[in-house]
Structure 1
Amino acid sequence: MTDPTTPAAEGQLPPYSGEDVTCGKCANVGAYTSYRAAGEHSSNEAPTWGRSAKGERLERSCSRCSFIWDEALVRPVDERTVIDDLQSDYDYPAACGNPHNEKPGGGAYDSAHD
């Protein structure tokens, strides 16, 4: 687990610590996550007319004490692989009350094309 209170090396952020991260200030387990674009100010920064020097990152906020820290983005995943995995794990006809995979009016669905 990454300690969110430890400053990262110059220009580097600690890796994303997951859903069950422990807050370094109050020891609560759990934090909210918000995406921040490069130049976007953090929730705890005073708004200015200029851009923030911070790059693209995930802003974490403790769900109890609201302590805020930044973490690196999650490693990109091939979108096509994720979509294929989700579709293969979900039995559409059975989930919709059609366990025999039948089309209205007869015939069967071809899962590769329908």
Structure 2
Amino acid sequence: MFRKTPLTIATALAVTLGSQASAFASDTAHNVRDHRKVVEKTVRDHRSLRKNEVVKVSRKDCRVGYENLRRIGYKHIVMFNCSGAKYKYIAHKDAAIWQASMHAYSGTMQLHYMGPVPTH
């Protein structure tokens, strides 16, 4: 009744192959990452630690430790190591020799009793 011409056969074949190809593509689409999607940007808290983060912290001057010792009553203060992470001092107070060290970045001081002042 109907005559199938080569043109209608080609059209029917193209439609069936096209529908199969789109079905195949939709099956694999969930495995492929779509880079066109808009990704929400997360704001990172700057206070959290990162292994490769470099933070510049200023060092305190060696003279700051000297002035702190002078202010709390030490006399004859000698600064003898003003490099590195700890500054070292020797001072006299109440007929005793004390060794002080100050952390170069935080400014915290530690005092150690070394002994009585020698008399001549």
TM-score, normalised to structure 1's length?
Answer: 0.23
Decide which structure has greater strand share: 2
Query: Which gives a bigger RCO, structure 1 or 2 (Cα 8 Å, sep 6+)?
Result: 1
For the pair shown, the structure with the greater C-alpha radius of gyration is: 2
Decide which structure has greater helix share: 2
TM-score, normalised to structure 2's length?
Answer: 0.22
